[in-house]
Structure 1
Amino acid sequence: MMIEINYFMNLLLGGLVVGFIYALTALGITIIYGILQIPDFSHGNRYMIGAYAGFLAASVAGSMLEISYVAAILGAVAVSSVIAVLSYLFVYKRLLSAPHITSFIAAIGLLMLLEGFALAVFGPRYQRIHTPFDYMVVIGALRINAQRLIVLFCSIAAIASLLYFLRRTVTGIALEAVAQSPIGAKLVGINTDKMTLIAFAIAGALAGFAAALIAPITLVYPIMGAELNLKAFVICVVGGLGNIPGAIAGGLVLGIVESLYGGYFDIRWKNLVAFGILVAILILKPEGLFGKKERRA
């Protein structure tokens, strides 16, 4: 009985770790969608580029793991943020007055561009970011990888900081105002272009941070962003597009369901189960769990 409980707790912890990574990535998509009302399909590959930036930063920093891992996190966050801002300035900003389908196609083009760049520069080989937390922690009868605990605690801290920023700071409140009504925000003197730049920078930083946290566990490879991107959009739809609490809850639900199903049943079918949940939710509640129904004229 005790073995079963320990096994369940390990699966639950693993689901929470993955779920928080999903949530961090989905939050970036949610923030951008809230501002521009476009699905940014290139977001997952900014996560991937951030992971490679972290790998390069760690390699340059040297063999002292504590310093190299901090360098990996800072490098991933910085590069992902810069790429996100450049994506807005040179692509999305120029398409603001165009039909949404144009931005949608541009996002897919960016996705392919970033993935092709990674393949051309780094090749298809897997890379690893080394971490000083590559050991087991014993909590009672549980044995937990320390890096997983780092992912868990740092993700919670990042999400809590984001929520505080959005709810308690002037800039964060301005961002939410732009998301609710860009025209109304302009009328009260908010610089919507500046707020959009900040939104993209935050979204990129979250993607880079998530990548640097999980890369020591999952490794770094060119299609890692495309795989996560699809699940992040599942989460956004499940939680309600543009809904921040929904993105967090959706990420945790998806991560836990995947982990428990893979642990107790067949791991090969866990993605099928995850997308089956999406379809079921869309049928029962098309606006998502936390979304609001739109009134028809």
Structure 2
Amino acid sequence: MLILFQQLLNALALGGAYSLVALGLTLVYGVMKIPNFAHGSLYMVGAYVTWALLTDFGVPYFLALGLAAVALGLLAMLLERLVFYPLRGSPGVSPMIAAIGVLFFLEACVQLIWGPDFKLLNSPVTGIITFAGLSLTGQRLLMIVASVLVMLALFYFLKRTTTGATIEAMAQNREGARLVGIPVGRVASLTFFISGALAAVAAALYAPTSLVSPSMGEIMNLKVFAIIVLGGMGSVPGAIVGAFLLAFAEIFGGVFVGANFADVVGFAVLVIVLAIRPQGLFGRTA
């Protein structure tokens, strides 16, 4: 039973990080109706920016996290203006191909600047918290608390502010939002900013528990796309539920099946759910 609760805590930490990345991708898809295959590269660059701020400039961790979030938000806005905005009237496959190009371009830039070697991002929160026979590292506790706070802040922004309401209006009907006077271009840029910032926060929280590498964006890309398909394309609650479901499948699959098959178990759950409910857990039927 202790093993069960111990892995439950680990799954909550991992699910929190997955949720933040998936929420950014979900918002962009909801507004632009484009699967942004460059999203994983924003997560990867966010990890490297955080690492550089900590190691090269000696910036305190939480300040580095905030600066990385702003930097990646601005980078995502720049990509929206330079890549996606000019392609807004193009066939559906063109933005996807452009996004894949951005993914490999950013990966090449990171290797050019910081090299192809793995980087170690030391955890800013040391120590292990023990209670009732369970133990949790300070970094994983930070992942749980910070991800919940960020998700609550995002929910408040979307549901209780006028700007958030314009994002939801565009997600429901982009043309209708334009006709009632909503500045769709500005809202699209803001949505990309939020998605980049969320990816950077997730990277800064999760990177100290793993290694930072140029290929980490490709891996995260696969997982977050699995998450949003599992939850239902464009569904914010679905992205959160899908993220935790994938995290639970990976963690418990690693325990009961083997660490080498943890990812296989996660994607097996995806296949099973979609076989039963093709539109995803929170997706709407056509």
Summarize the alignment of residues 89-100 of structure 1 with structure 2, pairs less than 5 Å apart: 89-100=81-92
User: Cα deviations across residues 144-190 of structure 1 (Å, max 9, x unaligned)?
Assistant: 10110000000000001101100000000111001111111112211
The question of 1:46 aligning with 2:38 is answered no
2:111 to 115, 119, 129: 119
Q: Is the CA contact (8 Å cut-off) linking 1:61 and 1:71 kept in structure 2?
A: no
> Could you tell me which residue of structure 2 aligns to residue 163 of structure 1?
155
The percent identity for this pair of structures is 38
Structure 2 residue corresponding to 1:202, chosen from 189, 194, 206: 194
Partner SS state of residue 129, structure 2: strand
| 1:108-147 → structure 2 map (5 Å cutoff) | 108-147=100-139
For residue 248 of structure 1, what is the aligned residue in structure 2? 240
Runs of 5+ consecutive residues of structure 1 not aligned to the other structure: none
Matched, 1:292 2:269: no
Q: Which residue of 2 aligns with 1:88?
A: 80
2 CA distance for matches of 1:59 and 1:172? 36
CA contact (8 A) 1:58 1:71 kept: no
Which residue does 1:59 correspond to in 2? Answer: 55
- In 1: Cα distance, 2:111 partner to 2:57 partner: 23
Q: Which residue is 1:20 aligned to?
A: 16
Number of the residue aligned with 2:145: 153
How far does the alpha carbon of each residue in 1:29-67 deviate from its partner, in whole angstroms, 9 at most, with x for none?
1000001101001001100001111011112442xxxx5
SS of the equivalent of 1:95 reads coil
2: CA distance between counterparts of 1:11 and 1:260? Answer: 7
TM-score, with structure 1 as normaliser: 0.93
Counterpart of 1:211, as a letter, is A
What residue ranges of structure 2 are gaps of 5+ in the alignment?
A: none
Match runs of 1:228-243 below 5 Å: 228-243=220-235
Deviations 1:172-230 (CA, angstroms, capped at 9, x unpaired): 01110011111111122111111101100000010000000111111211111111110
Secondary structure at the aligned position of 2:135 is classed as: strand
Q: Is the contact made by 2:273 and 2:280 (CA closer than 8 Å) also made in structure 1?
A: yes
CA contact (8 A) 1:69 1:129 kept: no
Asked if 1:74 corresponds to 2:70, the answer is no
**TM-score, scaled relative to structure 2:** 0.97
The more displaced of 51-60 and 273-282 is 273-282
Moved more, 143-152 or 71-80: 71-80
| Aligned alpha-carbon RMSD (Å) | 1.1
Whether the 8 Å contact between 1:246 and 1:290 is mirrored in structure 2 is: yes
Question: Amino acid of the residue matched to residue 204 of structure 2?
Answer: A
Which of 268, 271, 284 aligns to 1:276? It is 268
What is the aligned residue count? 286
One-letter code of the match for 2:191? Answer: A
Partner in structure 2 of residue 211 of structure 1: 203
Q: Give the Å deviation of 1:241.
A: 0.4
On the 8 A contact 2:249/2:269 being kept in 1, the answer is no
1:9 aligns to what SS in structure 2? helix
| CA drift at 1:124 | 2.1
Whole-Å separation in 2 of the counterparts to 1:287 and 1:9: 31
The AA in structure 1 aligned to 2:21 is: T
CA distance in 1, matches of 2:132, 2:186: 50
| Deviating more after overlay: 137-146 vs 228-237 | 137-146
Contact 2:25 2:36 (8 Å CA) reproduced: yes
**What's 1:174 paired with?**
166
